[in-house]
Amino acid sequence: MHTKSSPRFQASNAAKWIIFLSLVAAWVTKTPYGQISDFVGGNFPWPDDRSLKWPALLLERTIVEFMICIPAAYLLAGLYRRSLHISILLTSLYIPIATLDLSAPLRPSYATAFVFFGMIVHAALLIGGVLVFKEKNKTIVR
């Protein structure tokens, strides 16, 4: 067991801070979103029928959020005792940044609904994922 003054404890604490600050920086700059969204959008089987446009957009957005939030939730639940607080912080950082995504080609009401949907999916996957992974860790440790 490591005491709070041991070098190993301080190193692991520093690594946790570096990971935390990296996650915050990634969320603020939306670094992984652009690349993952381009990848998913490029490989997504977009329908030819215009009536399926919105279900396809919502599914594509859900896949992008899943690819971002589930690994982050797993990392947070495994590393941090206060992972729920961190996931709420990351979600609260995401909300104002997501509002900047209001697309020009969409009508404003649709764009707002689409961004709002993304915020809900993001919060559900990140915060819910942390809660699920925390519960799984408790079950495994017992």
CA 134, chain centre distance (Å): 16
Q: Where are the alpha helices (DSSP H) in the chain?
A: 7-29, 31-43, 53-79, 83-99, 108-141
Q: What is the pLDDT of residues 38-57, one digit of tens each?
A: 899 899 888 888 888 888 88
pTM of the model: 0.81
pLDDT higher at 85 or 114: 85
CA dist., res. 60 & res. 41, Å (int): 7
Q: Which two tokens stand for residue 124?
A: 């559900």
User: Across 16-20, 95-99, 121-125, which has the greatest mean pLDDT?
Assistant: 121-125
Q: 46 Cβ partners below 8 Å, 6+ apart?
A: 56
Q: What is the pLDDT of residues 64-107, one digit of tens each?
A: 999 999 999 999 998 888 999 999 999 999 888 887 766 556 56
> Could you tell me which of 73, 61, 70, 66 has the C-alpha nearest to residue 37?
61
CA dist., res. 64 & res. 69, Å (int): 9
